[in-house]
Structure 1
Amino acid sequence: MPHAAELYLPRLRPAYRTEGGAAYLGDSLELLAHLPDDSVQLVMTSPPFALLRQKEYGNRDEAEYVEWLAQFAALVRQKLRPDGSFVLDLGGAYRRGIPSRSLYNFRVLLKFCDELGFHLAEDFYWFNPSKLPSPIEWVNKRKIRVKDAVNTVWWFSKTEWPKADVSQVLTEYSDRMKKLISDPAAYYTPAERPSGHNIGASFGKDNGGAIPPNLLQIPNSEAGGQYLTACRRVGVKSHPARFPARLPEFFIRFLTEPGDLVLDIFGGSNTTGRVAQTEGRAWLTFEQNAEYLAASTFRFMEKSASVSELNDVYTAILRGESLDLSHLNAPLLKFA
């Protein structure tokens, strides 16, 4: 089977490729234009957020953010397969100088659905229990707000009926549910509930796990992970705004099948590509910052790689070389 690089972007030269996919250095607007229409099953990404203070990874002011992001979304819609999905992780923000929330992430939602033709398949909320209290002014100093620990994650689709299979993301049953399944008659009597729902005996059937809620509780705590460890060893700056591997893992398993193409248009440290490869999906990643893209190669290198080996790969990317890392098969460590 042709490699993802040859199959989807045959005229472009990747910064690096692996057994499962390829990463490209450049502006996503330009790179997206080269992709065939109706080719991508899932775009999973976390763009720079619309924050008041400028960050080193290039966020925009909230006033211009929605229109800026809509440029990418319009192209994404063209490139998605008819039953494809676009999952967008957006953090919250406060308005300048006052303890009142910005509505930018909701304006993005309305813009994409009302003007670009997307459907909101479902709204998700990522709760990061390990997030530090913020913003400092309102939470730590004045103590008039609680910490902001939930991101909105919009699941957009090209059609009202996107590909999805919840059986691929079932969660472990609670201890109480396990007892019910083991002996339904002792714990549950089928009856109509006050709400009017009629729940029958099949409620006690073992379906292999529980259906997850749209609140995803995933700590973002990868201090000892493979990527950060390699960055420290080589002495390079890691990407400051990474999402944990379990976030793209959930949506990749939920919305795609092995062999489908997964794309991240704001690749950063390439968590999405690494997880997609582990899950047997083809992947492409676009990132315009050469340092971030070079360091993302560490996710595909063995934990035992020497500082010299890590540095050689990193500097080769910065020199503009195109590397083939297909011979590397580093395992994906949890939260790495």
Structure 2
Amino acid sequence: MGRELYKTKYGKLLLGDTIEVYKNHLSRYYSGKFQLIITSPPFPLNNKKKYGNLQGDEYLRWFTELAPMFSDLLTDDGSLVMEIGNSWESGRPVQSLLHLECLLGLVKNPESELRLIQEFISYNPSKLPSPAQWVTVNRLRTVDSYTHVWWMAKSDFPKADNSKVLRPYSKKMEKLIASKKYNSGRRPSEHAISDSAFANNNGGSIAHNLFELEQIDPNRDVRLPHSVLSFSNTNSNDYFHRRCRKEGVDLHPARMQAGLVSFFTNFLTDEGDLILDPFGGSNTTGYVAEKLKRRWIVTEINEDYAYNSIIRFEDPELGSVLEII
């Protein structure tokens, strides 16, 4: 069923292959129970990584066959959020369509009820130049600097509340709200702006589906939702990263950004809801869920990464009691 490695006040990590854990445990006790499944699965890279990744048709077949499992585990109004990067054709300066085929494979799988609700883009200007052969050696392509984040669900109306993930107002918008002086009327875009359109202070503006994890324009403030900023600004120097550097612990090479997990957790769940990450890695999802008082289950097949993730829950600011089984 997958060995329980540790548990906390709100969750537990199961060590084992997620499909086997599902067949022997999750399908029996957790069918229809997860409000959110959020994960960054192994990317279909051309070069093998320590965390394990398939390629080509083998990857597509494996990925598509996850759809019935996800559909079974989600509540009727639950959400599936997956982050996945781009891949390139082996030995060619040509971007692969594999990630798009994977998305279509999920939502068109006849044994599931999934549909794409919305796509998000996570832009990271600090990513190393890749694919290196075609960017830094031959200089034929630009840097691949973003990942796709797909929000899927079994219903057209999954539980969601964008008022819980508002962005800070821009300085210009704050002035408009304060002065209530602006040009109302019809715009060239044919939008009609009423006299009271900007009269109310709603606590922030509605979030965009682009996550700008660092500033694109140095003269403009990044206006990520507060839930993202609270994790993003200190991500590289938080307790987990400091401890790993100090103790020489190898970090998982494809960690999901904590700010993304925080955003979707706040956006799509309430306190007490149950969250699953079937490819936990260093267990960013469990840490964020613990901090936000959501119940969680994480599975991870790599024993080293699973044990290393214990460090996250030793963070004194988290205030969590960890029990190693």
Structure 1: how far apart are the matches of 2:235 and 2:60?
30
| Aligned counterpart, 1:208 | 203
Contact 2:289/2:296 (<8 A) preserved: yes
1:94, CA displacement in angstroms?
A: 1.1
Indicate how the Cα distance of structure 1 residues 29 and 202 shifts in structure 2: closer, same or farther if over 3 A, else same: farther
| Aligned counterpart, 2:223 | none
Check if 1:271 corresponds to 2:287: no
| Aligned counterpart, 1:318 | none
- Aligned match of 2:62 in 62, 68, 92? 68
Structure 1: how far apart are the matches of 2:20 and 2:43?
21
- Aligned match of 2:310 in 289, 293, 297? 297
Render the CA deviation track for 1:231-287: whole Å, top value 9, x for unaligned.
Answer: 233333221111221010010000101100011000000001100111110011000
Render the CA deviation track for 1:300-329: whole Å, top value 9, x for unaligned.
Answer: 10369xxxxxxxxxxxxxxxxxxxx95259
| Aligned counterpart, 1:224 | 237
Q: Which amino acid aligns with 1:258?
A: E
Render the CA deviation track for 1:146-192: whole Å, top value 9, x for unaligned.
Answer: 1011101110101111000000110101111111111122xx12211
Render the CA deviation track for 1:57-93: whole Å, top value 9, x for unaligned.
Answer: 1011133212101222220110100000000100011
| Aligned counterpart, 1:156 | 152
Indicate how the Cα distance of structure 1 residues 140 and 294 shifts in structure 2: closer, same or farther if over 3 A, else same: same
| Aligned counterpart, 1:55 | 49
| Aligned counterpart, 1:248 | 261
Contact 1:268/1:292 (<8 A) preserved: yes
SS in structure 1 opposite 2:298?
strand
Structure 1: how far apart are the matches of 2:168 and 2:175?
13
Contact 1:88/1:153 (<8 A) preserved: yes
Q: Structure 2 regions of 5+ residues with no counterpart? A: 215-231
Q: Which amino acid aligns with 1:229?
A: R
- Aligned match of 1:182 in 172, 175, 178? 178
Contact 1:27/1:286 (<8 A) preserved: yes
Check if 1:135 corresponds to 2:131: yes
Contact 1:105/1:152 (<8 A) preserved: no
Indicate how the Cα distance of structure 1 residues 63 and 21 shifts in structure 2: closer, same or farther if over 3 A, else same: same
| Aligned counterpart, 1:16 | 6
Q: Which amino acid aligns with 2:285?
A: T
Structure 1: how far apart are the matches of 2:168 and 2:299?
35
Check if 1:29 corresponds to 2:24: no
- Percent of aligned positions that are identical: 41
Q: Which amino acid aligns with 1:21?
A: G
Structure 2: how far apart are the matches of 1:290 and 1:328?
17
Structure 1: how far apart are the matches of 2:61 and 2:2?
28
Check if 1:170 corresponds to 2:166: yes
TM-score by length of 1: 0.84
Structure 1 residue runs of 4 or more that deviate by more than 6 Å after TM superposition: none
TM-score by length of 2: 0.87
Check if 1:195 corresponds to 2:185: no
Structure 2: how far apart are the matches of 1:110 and 1:134?
25
Structure 2: how far apart are the matches of 1:114 and 1:202?
44
